[in-house]
Amino acid sequence: MSDTASGQFVSWDGGCLLIGSAVAIGVPLHAHYAIQVAFGSEPGVRLRTDEHSEWTEYAGAIVPSRQPHEFNATSVRSWAVMFVEPETREGRALAALHGDHGITPLAADMLGTVTPALFSAWRDARSKAAVTEAARAVLRAIIGDVEPSVVSDERILRAIAYINGHLDHSLALEEVAAEACLSPSRFRHLFVEQTGMALRPYILWRRFLWVWELLMAGESLSAAAHMAGFADAAHLTRTSRRMFGFPPSMLQMIGPLRDDASGGVRAPDPRSDPTAVNAFVRARDPVRR
């Protein structure tokens, strides 16, 4: 496994992207909530489902939610990993199209011109909007016209929007359940059924995304940990290893992308920009259950 890699992070409503090059990256066995879509600038990213299996090389691959896996991108010039939240339309369409058991290969012709366009946008445009649109174009190419067979419950989507808009204070289970017009016990059951995880780890996931935004904006690891509601950098590191298989320090951010909307580099305030609440959260207090 490489000690460090260099890259950048962008996010959108229901998904995010880590993209990098120059320094090779390898990630040990782990599993996470999000569906993962991984590929390189050329075929050669490798995955396996346990430490004793042989590596399989892919042009691109989909890793289902909760699927244990190792990831290695030492054979490609540049790599990209997208995380898609399972309860979103894109997440449910990916599950409907490719199933939810085992790693699914993506054919090179399916990825076509969309993955080169993503790496080009990242290298040349240096714009958050351009990289985000190129990343979502990759998802559209993979999903095609497939519609999810199961639709997310509107009450849970409403609760998620509420969570993302109120991560600047402590959130109680009862408070979020009330937003969904459900009893706490019914909400707890339905939330797990819809998202595959309980409320506390879900909010932790959202806080973790904010850490990456803070690191992209130039904050130190220690400052980002505190701003995103972690006890300290060690707590953040333990969480990162559990969720992603590597510590945040392994990915060295190479500077923020241009924010076209503002004419400069500035992370939007989620309290004034409702379109950004999924990723730009200021979680400072622990979650109360």
* Burial bucket for residue 34 (CB in 10 Å: 0-12, 13-18, 19+): buried
- Rg value, the chain, Cα: 18
pLDDT confidence band for 132 (50 / 70 / 90) = very high
User: Does the structural domain 154-276 have CATH classification 1.10.10.60?
Assistant: yes
Q: How far apart are the first and last CA of the chain?
A: 37
| Beta bridge mates, 57 | 46
Q: What is the C-alpha separation between 152 and 185, in angstroms, rounded? A: 19
Nearest to 273 by CA among 283, 263, 262: 262
Residue 283: the pLDDT is 32
Q: Judge whether residue 168 has pLDDT over 60.
A: yes
Q: Judge whether residue 159 has pLDDT over 50.
A: yes
- The matching CATH number, chosen from 2.60.120.10, 3.40.50.2300, 2.60.300.12, 2.40.160.40, for 5-143 is 2.60.120.10
pLDDT confidence band for 22 (50 / 70 / 90) = low
Task: List, by residue range, all CATH 1.10.10.60 domains of the chain.
Answer: 154-276
